[in-house]
Amino acid sequence: MEISKTPFIVIPKKQFFNMSFRDVFILDIGTDTIKVYSKHQDLILQEANVIITQIHSSKVLAYGNIGKTIYNKLPINYTCSRPIKNGKISDVRLITLMLKYIFTQISSKWHFSKAICYCIVNSNINQDDKEIINSILKKLQIGKTYFLNMTNLYLSLLQDSIKEQTFLLLEQGAGYTQISIILNNAIIASKELMVTGNYLDLQIINYIAKHFNMYIGEFEAKQIKENYGSATELFENDSFEIYGKDLITSYHKKFKLTSSHIHFAIQNALNGLVTEIINFLISQNDELKLKLQETLKTLYITGGVSHLQNLDKFLHKELELEIKTLDNDYATICNLLYTKNILDNKKQAENTNISQELVSN
């Protein structure tokens, strides 16, 4: 698989590039963004997981944050694509181009041939996708690649602080949501759910199209969700203006929305999320259901969607569980890995559940 050329971008020298001879970094390939962290918790790079390409051609107009900025101003013969969808690779060529672009930006300060890359992946990623990512990183001359399961990382993060022996863990990303039953710090059962961050964005797009005859893109919908979305109806009904495309005239114009509109747009999806969680618990065997009835009191939520306003209050009311939100900052995870010497010493990790997810190239 040949890697296409991408433009070389010179990055200004920054203090966090002063790394040791054996460079170690963490790569998070998400549906919305790709992030690179150093082992010392520094966010080195964050780019939108977006590529603008010419239709029926291999020509790339823009990558990452630039592509996200210009996507709604594209000529008709260009399209906006995500190399990762629902936590999985959607296009091998595009993910190859995207990773090449990411590492080109930091290549002047990294010794890739001597580097170790810890790639954080969702539980639903298949072995073929891991091999594709591994192959791409090899061609970029990364020294060693290991894959880390996000669920196990969060369990290790909780290991020293939780008191509950039994709890639920709800991971909600842009393209991936998983509910897991945790018993004695081990995953007993888990299931992928339909209601992801992107699904909520789609509900907002469809609601606006149906009630206002206006079209907005997925990035605008995501910003509206983050700024005005709420899982419960707000006491103050804030109003705001946004640009969209009139579905009748095809003209772009400004129109007004309120936070109540956004609440109603996503309410059915959130009710569906609760139903999915309840059905998942009901589907367990009788012995586990009895154990859950006796001991289950807490639901931990994490991921980008966990920041949705009043989501904790909504889930608490519907599920009658205590809701605790985990820190979504990967610097915390970097610190966890670093303090446990997992980044520097794989052998040291053999006594932790994280080591079970380490897969070398």
Q: Is the pLDDT of residue 192 over 80?
A: yes
The domain made up of 15-142+330-357 has a fold known as: Nucleotidyltransferase; domain 5 (3.30.420)
3-class secondary structure, 49: coil
Q: Is the pLDDT of residue 179 over 90?
A: yes
pTM of the model: 0.77
| CA–CA distance, 45 with 11 (Å, rounded to integer) | 10
Least confident of 27-36, 188-197, 263-272: 27-36
Q: What is the pLDDT of residues 272-324, one digit of tens each?
A: 999 999 999 999 999 999 999 999 999 999 888 888 999 999 999 999 999 99
- Cα-based distances in Å from 188 to 56, 147, 179, 191, 285: 47, 21, 11, 11, 11
- The β-bridge relationship of strands 186-193 and 116-121 is unpaired
| CA–CA distance, 206 with 255 (Å, rounded to integer) | 16
Q: b vs e for 227-243, b when ≥16 Cβ sit within 10 Å of the residue's Cβ? A: ebbbbeebeeeeeeebe
Question: 151-328, which class in CATH?
Answer: alpha beta
pLDDT of res. 157: 67
**Are the C-beta atoms of residues 81 and 89 closer than 8 Å to each other?**
no
pLDDT of res. 9: 28
| CA–CA distance, 301 with 311 (Å, rounded to integer) | 9
| CA–CA distance, 349 with 356 (Å, rounded to integer) | 9
| CA–CA distance, 329 with 94 (Å, rounded to integer) | 27
Q: Hey, CA dihedral for 306, 308, 309, 313, is it positive or negative?
A: negative
Judge whether 15-142+330-357 and 151-328 match in fold: yes
pLDDT of res. 30: 81
Q: Where do the structural domains in the chain lie, given as residue ranges?
A: 15-142+330-357, 151-328
Write out the H or E segment, with its range, that includes residue 181. Answer: strand 177-183
Q: What is the pLDDT of residues 83-106, one digit of tens each?
A: 887 778 888 988 999 998 888 887
